[in-house]
């Protein structure tokens, strides 16, 4: 009771008692904040493991060439490249899309977006998080390729060629990572209608990229599925960790929920 009165009226019990009450309140707030952050960090770790398990399992399947995934992959590549070979216009469009979604172009555009969000809206830590996470995704998918070392598809009359290993698809992994990061980056500054547009466009770009890699015959379907799971899973786990360490208030829930995250829309310039 005395502590409660001291918090409401610090002068009632003198400067010493008031200072003690304020110190106790600060300690409780710090303990609550720390507990909340660790709960969110556990969620981030759990989500990362949730996506790491299927990606690892799929990597094991393709590395060890286990059936029936390998058979499905082979049949799909033959059917897809037959369609592309029979439609020169489709082949041209696929090659153009392949160049447009090269990682270097994706990350240049995404970096410019991060800078714009930082400068225009003052979401500094959010922009840094998005940029760093995308760079990690870019490099980590290259490491995963070296670990799995899956050979690319071989067809009798190739439609296109690509260097390096096949699993996971670099295009699919990078597009999925960029799309997920962009959605989470711009979520607080978008209206509900704009959010729907961003999600729809991002999902469309990812889907077309996945189909592009298969119909050009440079990746198996399991490669692009692995890339999708890798990109979405890594960025989402990173984001949960980011809001876990940087909540606007100790009991805030993670975005997307509108005015939420480390920098709420109330603080936007």
Catalytic residue among 145, 150, 213, 219: 219
Q: How far is CA 239 from the centre of its chain?
A: 7
Q: Whose CA is closest to 138, among 168, 160, 100?
A: 168
Question: What value, to the nearest 5°, has the Cα angle with vertex 62 and ends 61 and 67?
Answer: 65
Q: Whose CA is closest to 119, among 189, 187, 180?
A: 189
**Are the beta carbons of 148 and 132 closer than 8 angstroms?**
no
**Are the beta carbons of 190 and 242 closer than 8 angstroms?**
no
259 noted as active-site residue:
no
Q: Whose CA is closest to 166, among 151, 155, 156?
A: 151
Find where tokens 């786990």 sit.
237
Catalytic residue among 171, 205, 231, 235: 171
161 noted as active-site residue:
no
Please state whether 65 falls in left (phi above 0), alpha (psi between -120 and 50) or beta.
left
CA distance 199 to 184: 10
Tell me the longest C-alpha to C-alpha distance in the chain: 89
Beta carbons within 10 angstroms of residue 128's beta carbon: 13
**Are the beta carbons of 265 and 209 closer than 8 angstroms?**
no
Q: Which residues are catalytic?
A: 171, 219
């Amino acid at each position: 009771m005395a502590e409660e009165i001291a918090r409401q009226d610090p002068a009632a019990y003198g400067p010493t008692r008031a200072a003690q009450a304020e110190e106790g309140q600060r300690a409780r707030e710090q303990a609550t904040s720390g507990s909340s952050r660790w709960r969110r960090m556990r969620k981030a770790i759990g989500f990362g493991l949730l996506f790491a398990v299927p990606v690892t399992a799929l990597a094991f399947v393709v590395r060890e060439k286990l059936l029936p995934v390998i058979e499905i992959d082979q049949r799909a590549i033959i059917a897809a490249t037959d369609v592309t070979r029979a439609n020169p216009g489709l082949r041209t469009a696929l090659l153009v899309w392949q160049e447009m979604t090269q990682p270097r172009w994706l990350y240049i555009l995404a970096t410019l977006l991060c800078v714009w969000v930082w400068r225009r809206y003052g979401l500094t830590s959010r922009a840094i998080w998005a940029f760093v996470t995308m760079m990690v995704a870019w490099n980590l998918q290259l490491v995963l390729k070296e670990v799995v070392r899956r050979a690319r598809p071989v067809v009798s009359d190739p439609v296109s060629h690509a260097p390096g290993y096949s699993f996971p698809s670099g295009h699919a992994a990078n597009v999925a990572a960029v799309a997920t990061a962009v959605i989470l980056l711009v979520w607080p500054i978008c209206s509900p209608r704009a959010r729907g547009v961003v999600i729809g466009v991002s999902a469309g770009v990812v889907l077309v990229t996945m189909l592009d890699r298969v119909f050009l015959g440079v990746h198996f379907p399991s490669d692009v599925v692995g890339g999708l799971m890798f990109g979405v899973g890594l960025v989402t786990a990173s984001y949960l960790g980011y809001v876990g360490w940087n909540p606007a208030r100790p009991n805030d829930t993670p975005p997307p929920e509108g005015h939420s995250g480390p920098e709420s829309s109330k603080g936007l310039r």
